[in-house]
Homo-oligomer: A and B are copies of this chain.
Amino acid sequence: MSASSRILNLAVIPGDGIGQEVVAQGLKVLSAVLPQDVKLETEDYDFGAKRYHATGETLTDADLDSLKKHDAILLGAIGDPSVPSGVLERGFLLKLRFAFDHHVNLRPSKLLPGVSTPLAGQPEIDFVVVREGTEGPYTGNGGTIRKGTPHEVATEVSVNTAFGVERVVRDAFARAQARPRKKLTLVHKNNVLTFAGHLWTNIFHQVAAEFPEVTTDYIHVDAATIYLVTDPARFDVIVTDNLFGDIITDLAAAVSGGIGVAASGNINPSREFPSMFEPVHGSAPDIAGQGKADPTATVLSVALLLRHLGYESEAARIETAVSADLGERGDSVRSTDEIGDALVARVVAG
């Protein structure tokens, strides 16, 4: 493939609720920012509630084979109240993370100028959470006995391996090393979850020895939630387990502008399988189809996607455009489409 005919081949999963609308804007901005010599090819996939109701399928082996062929995956949102809780989460979202070994779940939090936060005094917020994506309490290990009786026992097993912890901790150290402050915080609950806690803590210290420039510290997950609202500026890069990461990144999104602007990447750093990029928000069925959804989080997820594939300057252009747009947004109420258009105009001009 010559430099004059590069191809960017994306799997696009609009999904449920507002997914369709926000993904359309993400793709619009992506097309506008890509260099002229890069050809964007996309294939749409119909995963989500509709397909589940029609066929009972969430994500088949054939689907996975087909998804594998793409450079990356862009997802809008999956989930609908008509589907029992857990079915699409376990059957699609988590299945995809596990199948494609998305062990680095990357969630940046940056409070941009002009963006409102529930915190008083507009604190400085600029950190990244590296959440482990394939282990911990998310493995689906566990079970139920005597279901529905007064003697029911249900267990959930958090599984943590040296292999799984080490690779994500190493990834987080590398990210910390590349940032100006070079600081990495381990968040866990090692005083109570002592088996997993010791594993995480020991590996964290081992890998730290390889990154002497990175300052490290440790905080219990409960205390981390306190700092996220009283002193978020103390964080630069955080590395944490799957469940703790789930919890603190929602809080992080809330304090740094809301889930309307929170982007995420489900990354396989080895690129053995395509990585998946998605807004942190859900399908928001209550506002679906009304052109009210904010596509910013999806557009920022496109930036993460581009950076992952090596399009650093294009990613930065999107982020600059979003920053400028949010800074000048004020109280104006704009439609999904209008926000997308404004961002397209900025990346084209930028």
Contact = CB atoms under 8 A, between A and B. Distances in A.
B86 A197 contact: yes
A119 B116 CA distance: 12
A229 B155 contact: no
A149 B165 CA distance: 12
A310 interface: no
B199 A223 contact: no
B199 A144 contact: yes
A162 B223 CA distance: 30
A46 B43 CA distance: 68
A138 interface: yes
B221 A247 contact: yes
Contact of A247 (B137, B163, B247): B247
Interface string A201-230: 110000000000000000001110110111
Interface stretch (A7-15, A52-60, A185-193): A185-193
A166 B192 CA distance: 24
B156 A158 contact: yes
A153 interface: yes
A99 interface: no
Interface in A140-167: 140-144, 146-163, 166
A155 B157 contact: yes
Contacts of A259: 226
Q: Which 4 A-B pairs have the closest CB atoms?
A: A222-B250, A225-B251, A152-B162, A154-B195
Interface of A: 85-86, 89-90, 94, 117-121, 137-138, 140-144, 146-163, 166, 189-199, 201-202, 221-223, 225-226, 228-230, 243, 246-251, 253-255, 258-259
